[in-house]
Chain A
Amino acid sequence: GQNIDQPTEMTATEGAIVQINCTYQTSGFNGLFWYQQHAGEAPTFLSYNVLDGLEEKGRFSSFLSRSKGYSYLLLKELQMKDSASYLCALGEGAAGNKLTFGGGTRVLVKP
């Protein structure tokens, strides 16, 4: 199975940096996705890694190491609106469209 693990909850201060780790056990997948989900809303796409290394998109960066079964999402210059759940997902199956999600990490940003 995939066994995708993320911390349940993290707290950080506005303006700080937070790193959310995601570990998994699987034999193969097309890519690794990160989504943000605010309470009561649908998930929105943040980042996607196919190859090992760092992908940077503004204040958000995501890293993947396939050999280590590890990814992280880095949120810089935290803002209050970043308080949300962050979901790590493996894209598998045909065209990599079968997303298997971790349980999500709830991030609380405090002033």
Chain B
Amino acid sequence: KAGVTQTPRYLIKTRGQQVTLSCSPISGHRSVSWYQQTPGQGLQFLFEYFSETQRNKGNFPGRFSGRQFSNSRSEMNVSTLELGDSALYLCASTDDRGPYEQYFGPGTRLTVT
């Protein structure tokens, strides 16, 4: 099976802009989670979508949002970008029927200038 794919792999945006990142899970996986990774804060959970519904949510401001489509592909959106949003954004998918390990995609490296 193909792994988790994320597009784009690299992105440069300016403060105040918005950005949309895309994630395609492993075929058959219905759960997609998003994480932000920075050198200072480490790997932090953003949110998880399952069957097109947000099932779990982290402690990020409302500027961070997401959605999931009927084919389980997911997008996350960050509005009004800030310099501190520069990070590696990782998505992960899991087979909700178990085992429960999450399979991570290669990530999108976002730089905000």
A-side interface residues toward B, CB under 8 Å? 30-31, 33, 41-45, 48, 87, 89, 91, 93-104
Contact = CB atoms under 8 A, between A and B. Distances in A.
Contacts of B44: 101
Interface SS, B side: strand
Contacts of A45: 101-103
A99 to B, nearest CB: 6
Interface of B: 31, 33, 35, 42-45, 48, 50, 55-56, 58, 90, 94, 96, 99-107
B42 A104 contact: yes
Contacts of A42: 90, 104-107
7 contacts: A42-B90, A42-B104, A43-B43, A45-B103, A94-B56, A97-B48, A101-B43
Nearest to A94: B55
A94 B57 CA distance: 10
B45 A100 contact: yes
A95 B55 contact: yes
Given A93-B48, A97-B31, A97-B94, A48 B100 contact: yes
A106 to B, nearest CB: 12
Nearest to A44: B104
A96 B31 CA distance: 11
Pick the 4 closest A-B CB pairs, nearest first: A45-B101, A42-B104, A93-B56, A98-B56
Nearest to B94: A97
Given A43-B43, A87-B43, A104-B42, A99 B55 contact: no
